[in-house]
Amino acid sequence: MSRFNRLLERFFYHPEEEGTEGLEASLGPETLGAAGVTESADYYLGFVLESQSYAVPIYEVREIVRARILTEVPGGPKDVIGILNLRGEILPVYNVKPRLRLSAVTPQLAGPTADLNTIPKPARILVVHGRNCDCGIFVDKVIGVIRLRRSEIESPSSGFDNERDCVLGSVRLDDSVVMLLNVNLVVE
């Protein structure tokens, strides 16, 4: 097993593990009752957009790549930053911040004004499985894998208006709120 696979395995809970001390960090001490152990959990990949935390189901994420200069799409949709050539596969890369009403500014990653120095160093492109094809989502920073039980997820409030359809719910982790997104709807 490669070093990467060994590190990745440490993120995931395996039912055959002894004790529950590892569960407390990912689920919180109040969730370790008998009912909590039998309730299944789902994995999400957490990331940051404009200093707010979001997450998508981990099975929707194909890979994470460093932000890089993209190829410009003249006359393309306004939410497409550019296209990414990933090992010969051409993928559109989306800026989802305007859809979530975070920022209307598009990162300068494509065209003659492209400059990697204008984006945060931890910025990444999440390659996700879209409805029709795989695509990229530009994020400011990847937080990591989050394990959540369905009972921890609160349904979206009525204050989301237009972006409500792409929000699956929210969850409170420590002192912050993480919004769970529907990948297929956030890149429409």
pLDDT of 132: 82
Residue 33, H or E segment: none
Residue 162, H or E segment: none
Contact 150, 168 (CB under 8 A): no
Query: Could you give the percent of the chain with pLDDT greater than 70?
Result: 76
The reply to whether CATH 2.40.50.180 applies to domain 41-188 is yes
Q: What is the rounded CA–CA span in Å between residue 116 and residue 120?
A: 8
Query: If phi over 0 gives left and psi between -120 and 50 gives alpha, with beta otherwise, what is residue 152?
Result: alpha
pLDDT of 38: 63
pLDDT in tens, 66-89: 999 999 998 888 889 999 999 999
Segments in the chain below pLDDT 50? 13-36, 162-163
pLDDT of 34: 44
| Pair of tokens at residue 80 | 């497409």
pLDDT of 105: 82
pLDDT of 95: 93
CATH 2.40.50.180 range(s) for the chain read 41-188
Nearby residues of 113 by Cβ (< 8 Å), 6 or more positions away? none
Query: If phi over 0 gives left and psi between -120 and 50 gives alpha, with beta otherwise, what is residue 8?
Result: alpha
pLDDT of 48: 94
pLDDT of 7: 55
pLDDT in tens, 34-57: 444 567 888 999 999 998 999 999
| Pair of tokens at residue 83 | 């296209």
The model's pTM: 0.74
pLDDT of 18: 41
